[in-house]
Amino acid sequence: MTDARLIYVVGPSGAGKDTLIACARVAVDGRLPVAFAHRYITRPADAGGESHVALTEAEYAERLGRGLFAMAWDSHGLRYAIGREIDLWLDAGMTVVVNGSRAWLPRALALYPHLVPVVLTVAPDELRRRLIARGREAPEQIEARLARAAAFQVDAPSAVVIDNSGPIDQAVEALLTVLRAPLRQPA
């Protein structure tokens, strides 16, 4: 048995998932058997935000139809996926970190018994500030995101909650603690 597990990072838009994952990747820098998965998104590569593999709707549909995605979901008018390569990495004994979807978490838990949900939270005022600062959405879209963030709860007893309201280095250290922890067997 290996300590391979899927670290499934979720949180509302603006919580800092991309920043947290990017900073953890730099901190790990090959010193742990950890792979950081990219997402496939039907959003142009130069649209800003996270680094991702940009796909057209047709490319996405073709890959989805051929079973090349381990996970796939729609959100905010875009289509997202995590590739099947994560299964190869897990089989090779690596821990895999993905930026997941809160809504897809129940399916991910069913598919990956060693999944560790990491729920990123942010104080509401800080979340509003971040959403405004990134300048991607109109005010009504920001309000909708804030309402969704307040209403959506993650129901996973094994979840690790990380508050990312403060300095990023605190949240990174919390995620690194999760990455260094030995595998816990499901109850």
Known binding-site positions for ATP: 11-18
**How far out from the chain centre does Cα 187 lie?**
24
Give the Cβ contact number of residue 53 at 10 Å. 13
CB 52 within 8 A of CB 41: yes
Residue with structure tokens 């971040």? Answer: 130
**How far out from the chain centre does Cα 156 lie?**
15
Where is 74: in which H helix or E strand?
strand 69-75
**22's tokens:** 């990017």
Residues of each annotated binding site: 11-18
Tell me which amino acid residue 4 is: A
> What residues does 70 pair with on adjacent strands?
none
Report CA-CA distances (Å) from 169 to 42, 101, 122. Answer: 31, 23, 14
Is the backbone of residue 30 left (phi > 0), alpha (psi -120 to 50) or beta? left
